[in-house]
Every structure is written in structure tokens, then in C-alpha cells.
Amino acid sequence: MTGRALVLGTLVVLLIVLLASPLNRYFGSRGDLDAASNQLQRDKQQLTELQKQYQQWSDPGFIQQQARKRLQYATPGDTVYVVVDRGAKSDIEKTLAHGEDPAGGDSWTSRLWTSVEQAGK
């Protein structure tokens, strides 16, 4: 092995040692940049979907439709039907069988009013 080869080998090893850390940081930052770019795309898609939902919920007709569907609300004048399995009794029939008032004689509102009257005495 000659002196030139020894100096050249030492120089190559020195360059590898000096450049290893900056190259590692460079490739790491490239990965972080790609991850941030992907997250930005996902956030933009989510923002678009949320804006569509906001537009829907800004419509009073949509809100009424959702209240009817999710909360089972009915507006005055609507005819409400209760579908029961064959052979089963509806809640109204069960209430009538126990002798309770189906119009709310033992409902939470009547119990509340009774407790208010008792507290006022």
C-alpha cells in the first residue's frame, strides 16, 4: 500500500463521517415533508366534506328531515303509524293493559307537576 492510497482512503473515510449526519437529516426532513404534504391533502378533503355538511345543515328543510328521521319528530297534521311485529303488542296496548292513562297520566310531566304542587304546599 502506497502513501497516496493511504491518504486517499483516509480522505474518503473522513468525508463519509462528515457527510453522514447532514445526509441523514436531509433524508429525514424529506420524509417529514412528504408526511406533511399527505396530511395537508387529507385535511383539504376533510375540509371539503365538512363544508358540504355545513351547507346541508344550513338548509331548514334538511334539519327538519333529520329531526323526523333521527328523533322521530312529527309536525302537527302528520299521521304517525307504529309498525309492530305480528303477535306483539305496541307500547300503547301495553299501557292500556296495565290500566294506565296512555295520554300521560303517569308520564314524567305529570309526575313533575305533582312534585311542583307538593313542594308549593
Check residue 80 and report its DSSP letter: P
C-alpha to C-alpha distance for 39 and 46, rounded to whole angstroms: 10
Q: Express each pLDDT in 4-35 by its tens digit.
A: 999 999 999 999 989 899 988 998 899 999 99
Domain enclosing residue 12, as ranges? 1-77
Question: 65 and 114: one domain?
Answer: no
Question: 65 and 87: one domain?
Answer: no
Question: 24 and 65: one domain?
Answer: yes
pLDDT of residue 98: 67
Contacts of 73 (CB under 8 A, 6+ apart): 67
Q: Express each pLDDT in 46-88 by its tens digit.
A: 999 999 999 999 999 999 999 888 887 888 888 888 777 888 8
Question: 58 and 103: one domain?
Answer: no
The cell numbers describing 106, all together, are 303517569
Question: 107 and 56: one domain?
Answer: no
Tally of domains within the chain:
2
* pLDDT value at 106 more than 70: no
1 compared with 106, residue with greater pLDDT: 1
Question: 59 and 99: one domain?
Answer: no
Highest mean pLDDT out of 40-49, 59-68, 98-107: 40-49
Question: 65 and 34: one domain?
Answer: yes
User: Collapsing DSSP states into helix, strand and coil, what is residue 99?
Assistant: coil
